[in-house]
């Protein structure tokens, strides 16, 4: 039997909610599939009610009953950083590690070296850069994630943040809360999104969902990606393709970022690149905080080169209380919540159970869930992380 180590974010400070009386809604919509036809997670069963808070320690992703009935040990923690953390103590004899990108358990080469029993690392959600993939390959550890489970939640959050920045919602709301009514002050930085040039950096599942949701706003859409989209898709959304991000950013008013964190994208949004953008451009980054140079973003906002920056991601996570992105001008930051809405939690919890069921039964995992397997990049990982990735089929 296996030891499963589950690293989740802490419960609400007022305690874990009781379903349904402590929730804003009694139900969440029942979905049958994803827009591209890919099936939703298909575990043999679930032991939770969709709409419950599953991503915190008391929610346990709804896994305890299933795992313990099968004879496995489940250890759930939130302490993951610092000397002698629960994570470091429990990892040494764990067979399975599960964590979320919102509260990542950073699986470094040093930690992997101590985890002699570790066979699989699962991301409950999307994005496995908190696992050192090179070290995982070297040790034959499988890395998997619940692809697409929260893509549309992130896309919705992205569109929200674009509008919040362009319309200058944060300041307008502050004026209302503070009891003011100075209309001129409220609108002196407020613009319409209509007619603006919007650029999408990386047109994968999330990037395409953003394109499809922004198109009705009457914007001019641009994108760049390692793999060009089909001609009929470009025509449908009147997309302008650019060979690289350097060409893209010179021609847009709003940039949204959806690339994975790799050696090639780390620090890519630096001072040099930002200086080539139109003065007063906006950036929304729900991908990974380390894609942006922290101080370059701050300086660009302070100088007015950028009119606004909204991100849902930080480096590191959780971000320290004195992180400059918390207080830089004209920001609309959130604490990596875009992909962990309650409906998204139900999907990635079900997908995590599906992965575990297949893993324990010795069945092949869905290719779209795989990042690395058998010492090499596989499935989604071969497309997103491998340097010589091939186009997804």
Helix locations, 25-94, DSSP H: 64-69, 86-91
Q: Over the stretch 360-387, which tens digit does the pLDDT of each residue have?
A: 999 999 999 999 999 999 999 998 887 6
Tokens linked to 57: 């320690």
The residues annotated with a catalytic role in the active site are 150, 288, 317, 336
| 37-41, 190-194, 263-267, 292-296: least confident range | 37-41
pLDDT at 204: 94
Average pLDDT over residues 329-333: 98
Instruction: Quote the mean pLDDT of the chain.
Output: 95
More confident residue, 230 or 84: 230
pLDDT at 177: 98
Q: Over the stretch 262-288, which tens digit does the pLDDT of each residue have?
A: 999 999 999 999 999 999 999 999 999
* Whole-number percent of the chain with pLDDT over 70: 98
Going by C-alpha positions, the residue among 349, 265, 271 that lies closest to residue 313 is 265
CA distance 309 to 165: 7
Q: Over the stretch 161-178, which tens digit does the pLDDT of each residue have?
A: 999 999 999 999 999 999
DSSP one-letter string for 201-220? E--SHHHHHHHHHHGGGTPE
List domains and CATH numbers for the chain.
3-149+340-378 (3.40.50.720), 151-326 (3.40.50.720)
Average pLDDT over residues 139-150: 96
| 3-class SS of residue 186 | helix
Residue 76 contacts by C-beta under 8 Å, 6 or more apart in sequence? 6, 8, 57, 60, 64
pLDDT at 359: 98
Average pLDDT over residues 299-323: 97
pLDDT at 37: 77
Structure-token match 């609108």, residue found: 187
Locate the DSSP E strands across 113-206: 120-123, 142-145, 197-201
pLDDT at 387: 61
- Per-residue pLDDT band for 186 (boundaries 50, 70, 90) equals very high
CA distance 215 to 208: 11
| 82-86, 243-247, 302-306: least confident range | 82-86
Q: Over the stretch 280-309, which tens digit does the pLDDT of each residue have?
A: 999 999 999 999 999 999 999 999 999 999
Contact 350, 126 (CB under 8 A): no
Average pLDDT over residues 97-111: 96
CA distance 171 to 376: 48
Contact 100, 123 (CB under 8 A): yes
């Amino acid at each position: 039997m296996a030891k499963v180590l589950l690293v989740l974010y802490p419960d609400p400070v007022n305690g874990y909610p009781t379903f349904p009386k402590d929730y804003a809604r009694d139900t969440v919509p029942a979905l049958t599939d994803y827009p591209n036809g890919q099936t939703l997670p298909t575990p043999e069963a679930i032991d939770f009610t969709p709409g419950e808070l599953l991503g915190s320690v008391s929610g346990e992703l709804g896994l305890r009953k299933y795992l313990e009935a099968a004879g496995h040990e489940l250890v759930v923690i939130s302490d993951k950083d610092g000397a002698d953390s629960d994570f470091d103590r429990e990892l040494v004899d764990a067979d399975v590690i599960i964590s979320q990108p919102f509260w990542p358990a950073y699986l470094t080469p040093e930690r992997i070296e101590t985890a002699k029993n570790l066979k699989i690392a699962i991301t409950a959600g999307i994005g496995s850069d908190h696992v050192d993939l090179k070290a995982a390959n070297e040790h034959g550890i499988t890395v998997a994630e619940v692809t697409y489970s929260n893509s549309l939640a992130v896309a919705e959050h992205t569109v929200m943040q674009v509008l919040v920045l362009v319309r200058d919602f944060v300041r307008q709301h502050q004026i209302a809360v503070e009891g003011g009514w100075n209309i001129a002050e409220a609108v002196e930085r407020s613009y319409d999104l209509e007619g603006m040039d919007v650029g999408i950096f990386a047109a994968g599942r999330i990037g395409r969902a953003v394109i499809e949701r922004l198109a009705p706003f009457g914007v001019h859409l641009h994108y760049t990606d390692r793999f060009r989209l089909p001609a009929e898709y470009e025509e449908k959304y009147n997309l302008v393709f650019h060979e690289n991000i350097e060409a893209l950013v010179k021609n847009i008013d709003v940039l949204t970022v959806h690339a994975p964190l790799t050696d090639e994208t780390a620090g890519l949004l630096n001072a040099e690149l930002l200086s080539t953008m139109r003065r007063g451009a906006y950036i929304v980054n729900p991908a990974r905080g380390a894609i942006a140079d922290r101080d370059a973003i701050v300086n660009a906002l302070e100088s007015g080169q950028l009119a606004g920056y909204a991100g849902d991601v930080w480096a590191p996570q959780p971000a320290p209380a004195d992180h400059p992105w918390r207080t830089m001008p004209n920001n609309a930051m959130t604490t990596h919540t875009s992909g962990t809405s309650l409906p998204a939690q139900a999907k990635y919890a079900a997908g995590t159970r599906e992965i575990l069921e297949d893993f324990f039964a010795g069945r092949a995992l869905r290719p779209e869930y795989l990042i690395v397997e058998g010492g090499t990049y596989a499935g989604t990982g071969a497309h997103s992380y491998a340097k010589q990735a091939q186009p997804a089929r």
